Amino acid sequence: YKLDTTNDLLTSRAGLLAIGQLMESLSLAERIDKYFPRPKSNRRYKPSEIIKTLILMQHEGSFHLDDVRHIQDDEALRTVLDLKRLPQATTLGDWLRRIGSQPQIQEAWVKVNKTLLQSALHCCKKVTLDIDATEIIAHKANAKWTYNKNKGFMPMVGHIAETGQVVAVDFRQGNVPPAQDNLAFIKQCQQALPEGCALNALRIDAAGYQIKIIEYCDDQDIQYAIRAKTSATMRAQIEAASDSDWQLLVDKKGKAVKGQDTYRTSICIGDYKKA
């Protein structure tokens, strides 16, 4: 290896340049400042300066607000992205706490996020929605115990399967059951989709095995794959199945999976008559 010295500015975070250019091409700063409440003083940071900093931190792999110093100390990165000033960790924390208590913030998030969704979905008219609870372990005083016996939070997160993007989030305490208010959250995800894009299919674990969710999907012509909860009726059906009812489980390539078989049947849930 031949080594040399240079007076040029260098950065080990070249990957963040693509993120910065993407935010610029989407006019993300202008959209954020349009929908988020502006500061009352000109000396305070704009919402776009805060959020863009948080986005860069997340893509850099930051886990704590104090990690903002990694970007602050990277003069080359700040020069290329024209980051003339960056908020301190305390400023980021104060903004997040203040903004999180304002009810109109949810609507602002949705309007800004629709721009990101639209840019990736292009002309896609129908999407598949994946929803699941995501555990966040935290040491905050108001955090509650989760079912995994950790203190923290259990937000419900909706992802678009085609792009992997988050379409909506319902922030919840750690002790909130994952099955609570999932139909309302599905509707929230639908409203958060960009114009001209509709929910075509839903995938959810046993937390979505509810009559009202299945009935809603049938009424809205939404295909669904929901993990069913085992019941006495279901176990009786499986036990009554003969060996000829079981078929080899086949993988995506059409090859049989060794030691696994599948049995297809139908069952009704509760008083809902449709199988």
Q: How confident is the model at residue 175 (pLDDT cuts 50, 70, 90)?
A: very high
Sign for the CA dihedral angle at 182, 187, 193, 196 comes to positive
CA distances from residue 81 to 59, 77, 223, 240, 261 in whole angstroms, order as listed: 15, 6, 44, 66, 55
How far apart, in whole angstroms, are the C-alpha atoms of residue 255 and residue 248?
9
pTM across the whole model: 0.84
pLDDT the model gives residue 34: 93
Mean pLDDT of the chain: 91
Order of strands across the sheet with 126-133?
A: 165-170, 156-160, 126-133, 198-204, 223-226
Chain centroid to CA 233:
35
Q: How confident is the model at residue 6 (pLDDT cuts 50, 70, 90)?
A: confident
Q: How confident is the model at residue 20 (pLDDT cuts 50, 70, 90)?
A: very high
Paired strand residues for 136: 153
pLDDT beyond 90 at 99: no
pLDDT the model gives residue 265: 87
The 3-state DSSP class for residue 137 equals strand
What are the tens digits of pLDDT across the range 68-80? Answer: 999 999 999 999 9
**Residue type for position 186:** I
What are the tens digits of pLDDT across the range 31-89? Answer: 999 999 888 777 789 999 999 999 999 999 998 999 999 999 999 999 999 998 899 99
Chain centroid to CA 65:
20
Q: Which residue has the higher pLDDT, 145 or 42?
A: 145
Whether the CB-CB separation of 81 and 118 falls below 8 Å is answered with no
pLDDT the model gives residue 38: 84
Q: How confident is the model at residue 94 (pLDDT cuts 50, 70, 90)?
A: very high
Q: At what angle do helices 211-219 and 182-192 cross, to 10 degrees?
A: 30
How far apart, in whole angstroms, are the C-alpha atoms of residue 27 and residue 71?
21
pLDDT beyond 90 at 123: no
What are the tens digits of pLDDT across the range 182-237? Answer: 999 999 999 999 999 999 999 999 999 999 999 999 999 999 999 988 888 889 98
pLDDT the model gives residue 136: 92
**Residue type for position 170:** D
CA distances from residue 111 to 72, 115, 194 in whole angstroms, order as listed: 29, 7, 9
pLDDT beyond 90 at 271: no
pLDDT the model gives residue 231: 86
Average pLDDT over residues 93-98: 91
Average pLDDT over residues 19-27: 93
Q: How confident is the model at residue 130 (pLDDT cuts 50, 70, 90)?
A: very high
Q: Tokens representing 61?
A: 């792999």
